[in-house]
Amino acid sequence: RAPSRHDVEGVMMRWMPPLVIDGEVHACPQCSTYRDWIVFNMNDDSVWLRCPAGHQVLEPRLDAAWFNRNCGPVDHWHPTLEDGLRHLGH
Ligand SMILES: [Zn+2]
């Protein structure tokens, strides 16, 4: 059967350009980087951002609806977040 998103902890995508939230470019609160994010949409519909340095924070202004609007078709499924991060180049 086709995998469903509930088989995994969540879905993720790589976001290379600056990420604009509420009209402002979002920067990592810890290292101030503003591009090359991994964006996670977890099964509880929360959205997390991970910067290239591995700082991972919940972003409450983003949600599953935002993720689905901005995410292309999910073409890869990963058993673990670590496997997915490797696939995405982090
Ligand atoms: Zn950071």
Q: What pLDDT, in 10s, does the model give residues 11-65?
A: 888 899 999 999 999 999 999 999 999 999 988 889 999 999 999 999 999 999 9
Rounded Cα–Cα distance for residues 58 and 60 (Å): 6
Pairwise CA distance, residues 58 & 82, whole Å: 18
| Ligand 1 geometric centre to CA of 56 (Å) | 8
- Integer angstrom CA distances of residue 49 from 1, 4, 35, 53, 69: 30, 22, 11, 11, 16
Q: Give the distance (Å) from ligand 1 centre to CA of residue 57.
A: 9
The whole-angstrom separation of Cα 58 and Cα 4 is 23
CA 9 to chain centre: 12
Ligand 1 centroid to Cα of residue 46, in Å, is 19
Is 9's pLDDT higher than 50?
Answer: yes
Domain range summary for the chain, segments of one domain joined by +: 1-63
Q: Are 22 and 61 in contact (CB under 8 A)?
A: yes
Q: 4 C-alpha to center of ligand 1: Å? A: 31
